[in-house]
Structure 1
Amino acid sequence: MPLNYDKWANLELSDDSDIEVHPNVDKKSFIKWKQQDIHQKREERKATRERLGIELQINQTLLPRIQTIISGVTKEGPQVFSAEVARLGSNPSPDKPQTKAKDQPTYDEMMQNLFIQVWDKSRAYMDDKDKLAQELISQLSTTEKSVVERNAAIHKEIADIDEQEKDKITSEGIRTGFDSSHVNKIADDQNAPEKKQTTQSLEVLNPGAGGDAGGGAAAAAAAPSSTPASTNADDLPDLSPNMARLAQIPLRQYKALVEIIAGDRSLLRDETTDALFVEAFNAGMEGKQRSEYAMRCVNAGLFVQYCNKLGKDGLSLFMQRLTQAREAEAVFMKDVQDTHARIMERSAVLASQSSSSQDKEQIQLMSEGDTTITFDVPEGPAPENIVLEGDGKLQQLDPETVKQWLNERWNIFNAFDQNLKDALQSGSLDSVNKYLGDLPVSTAEKVVKDLDRAGILNFSSSEIRDETV
C-alpha cells in the first residue's frame, strides 16, 4: 500500500537544523530565535485558549442569573431587582471561578457590580415605577445580548486556535507507533510516567472583552456594594413619627432600632425604607450640613430592608448575624456608606440643577391682613400621666389619644434640622423664612407641611404661597 506523507507538510519543529540563511546571518543564532518564536507562539495559544475557556465558563454561569432577573422585573416590577441587590449585600455566596488568580471576585460580586452599573443608568427614573422597570429591563437586556454575542465570539476564537493547532504539527503533537524494534505491551503504558502538565495563573480576566456597556459578564468583577430600593413618589407615604424616630438613631445602635420596630411591627415594610431614603435624599438636597442626618436615614432604611428580606423572623435573624459575625456588620456598614454617598452625590447634582432652573424661587410664610403667624413649639414628649381639665368637651377626649398626638408633635419637631429648631424657638418669622428661602422649593413645601401637621404653625390660613422675588 503506498504511503501518504502529506500529513508532514505543516511540520513545525523547534529543532530544525536544515534552515538556509543569509551568509551574513549567524545560523545558530537564527535557529535559536526560530525555536524561541515557535515555543512562544505555542504558549500564547495555550494561554489564550485557557483564558477564553475561563471567560466562557463565567459567562455561562452568570447569563442564566441575568435572564432570571429580567424575567422577574418583567412580571413583578423593580422590587425583584431591589430584592436581589439586598440579598447580594446581606447574604453573598462564596462561590467563584477556579482561576487561582489573586483576589478573584466571586460570582455574587460580579453580579453586584453589574447591578450597580445598571442602577446608575436607571435610577433617573426612580420616581416612576413603570419607567424604572422598563429601563432596568432595557439595561439588563443589553447586557444579556452582549454576553450572548461575546460567547459566540469566544467559541469562534477557540475553534480558530484549535484549527491552528491541527494545522501545525509540533513536537508535542507527534505520535508515532514504531520508534523501536519491538512493540510495548498495553500494560507497560499504564506504568509510564505521567507527562508533566503546566498551568498558568491569570491575574485578570480580560476586563475589556465584549466591548460596550454589557461587556461580557466576566468584566463585571468589583468590590461588593449595594443600591437603594426603587421608589415611586406617588405611592410613598409621609414620614410617620415612628419612621422619624428610626432616623434619629445613631449608627451601630441596633438595639435602639429593634426596640422601635418591636413596638410598631408595621415599620417592617418596603414603604418604610422608601420613605427613609426619600428623607435622606431631601436632606442631601439641603446641603452637606444635613449629611449626618441623611446617613442615619439610610442606616435605618437599610436595616429595615435587610430584616424584610430575611422573612418572617428577619428582625431577630439579622440582629443575630450583626452581633455574631463581624463580617456581616462590615458588609452592612459598607452598604450604608456607599448608599449614603450615592444619595448625597445625586442630591447635590439635583440641588444644583434645581437652583439654576428655579433661580430666586422660594417658599415664604406670609400673613394676611391683621393675622399674625406664631409658632407653638413643643418642649418635649408627653408626660406619663395626662390629666385633662377644662370644659366638658376637653374632658371627653381620651388621654391616651392626646398623649399619642403630643408625642407625634415632639417627634416631628425633633426630626427638624437644628437651624430650623433654633429659628422656631426664637419665634421670629423672618428667621424661619430665611431658613425656608435657602431650601429647594419641594423641600421647603414638605417642611411647611410638617409644621402644619404638628400644630406648630399657627395662623388664620395654612395656605402656602410661592413667591418669586
Structure 2
Amino acid sequence: MPLNYSKWDQLELSDDSDIEEHPNVDKKSMIRWKQRDIHEKREARKRHIAQLNSELSLNAVLRPRIESILTGVTQKGVDHYRAVQRRLKESPSDEKPNTGAANQPTYDMMISQLLQDVFRESAWIVQGAKVESRSGNVIWEGKKVDENSGQPNWAEDATIPDGTKDELTKALEERLKWHLDELKKRDGQVEKEIEQEEREQAKKITSEGIKEGWDVSSVAKPKPSPLDDKPKTKKTEKVETIEVLNPGAGSSSTPAAPSAPAESDDEEDFGPLTPSARAFANIPVGDFEKSFEFIKQDASVLTESTHDSLLAEAFDAERKGEKELAKRCVHQSLLVNYCRQLGRDGVGLFFQKMIARNPKSVGMFNEDFQKTYQRISQRTAEMIAEEAAAGEREQIQLVAEDPSMTIGFNLPDGPPPDDLRLEGEGTEEMDIEQVKAFLQRKWEIFQGFPEKLKVALKTESLDEVNKVLGKMKVAEAEEVVELMQEGGMLSFSEKGVRDMTQ
C-alpha cells in the first residue's frame, strides 16, 4: 500500500531555511519577521473566531426574550410593552455576558435600549413616518429616525392617547419582528464567517495540532460523567466508647449533654441556572438534533440540580407570562430526566429515536411534556389566585397620623398666568419668577399623573385616591406621593402622613 505524504504539504514552518530574503536584509531578520507574521495572523484568527462565537451566544440569550415581549404585545397591547420597559428600569437584573470587559452592559440594559429604539421608531410611524423597503430604516422628513430624533409630543406623556393605542401596538409588533429577522440574518452571517475562518485555520498544520503518541506509560482516568453520580447517603459517625464495670461511678451526677447532630446532607439545594443550562433552555421545543449536539459538547447539564433549576425557571417564567420560555424549560428538563434514567449507554439510542421521529417514542415524550407543563400552568394560576385572595399584594395608602386631621388636596387649575400678581401680607419679599416656576412645575406634575388618578384627585375624596394608589405598584405609588408633596397638592405637613403597606 503506497504511503500518502500529501498532508505534509499543509505544514506551515516559520523557520524555513530556504526562505528567500531581500538583498538589503539579512537572512535572520527575514526569518524572524516571517515567524512574527505567521503567529500574529494565527492569533488574530483565533480572536476573531472567539468573538464570533460570543456574538452567537449573546444572540441566543436575547432572542427568546424579544420573542416573549413580542408575544406579550400581541396579546396585551402597548400597556404590556410599557410595563416591561418600567420593570427593566425599576428592577434590572445584573446578569450579563461573561466577556471580562470592564464596562460590559447587562442583558437587561441591552433589551431596554432596544425597546427604547423600537418605541421611538413606532411612535414616528404612527405620526406618519415611512419604512424603507430595502434597509428597513424609519424615515421622517427625509432623515433616519435615531436617538437624536426625539419623539412626538404625545409619546412623551405617561399615558398613551386611546386613539393611537391600536396603531402603536401594530407598529411595535412590526418593528420587533423586523429586529428579530435582522438578528436571524446576522446569526447566519456569523456562522458562515466562523466556517470560513475554521477552514482557513485547518489549511495549515501548526505545532498546536501536533500530538505525541505512545510516549506515556500511564493512561489518564476518564472524567466522571454526570450520569454516573450516585444518590447521597447519610453520613455515619463512628464513636469510640470504653466499656467499664461501673458506668456511673466515675461521672458526675449530671448526665452529659448529647452532642449536636451534624447537618443533614440529604437535601440538595439548587440555585439559578448556570450559563450552560440557560443556553440549553434556549433551544426550541422539539429540536432534538440541537439538544443532542449540545449534550455531546457539554454534558454538565445532565445533573439533577439542572433538572430542578429548569423546573423552577419554568414556574418563574409562567408567573411572568413568558409561556414560551416556560415550555422550553419544561421540555429541556424532561430531556435531562430521560437521559439520567436511561444512563450513559441509553442516551444515544433515545435521541436516535427522537431525531428519527419514532411515533411511539415522540408520542410518549410529548404526552409527558404536555402533562408536566399543564400541571405547572395550573399550579401557577392557583398560586396567583391564592395570593390575590389573601390580599398579599403590597399597597401604598395615605393615612393621617392624627385622627382629628382632615386630608385635603390643593390642585392646580392650570398653568400660571403671565400677569401673575402677589398680594397679601408677606408677599413683598417673594420672588415672582420663583413663584411662577413653582406653579408651572405643579401643573406639569398634575398633568403627568395617570388619568384615573387625576379624576380621583378632582373628587377631593381620600377614599377614591387611595383606591387608585392601591392598584398601583408600590414603587409607582411612592413616586406619585412624592410628586404630590413636591407640588404642594397635600394640605398637611409631611410628618402627618405615612405610607402604610398592606
TM (normalized to structure 2)? Answer: 0.40
TM (normalized to structure 1)? Answer: 0.43
| More contact order relative to length (CA 8 Å, sep ≥ 6) | 1
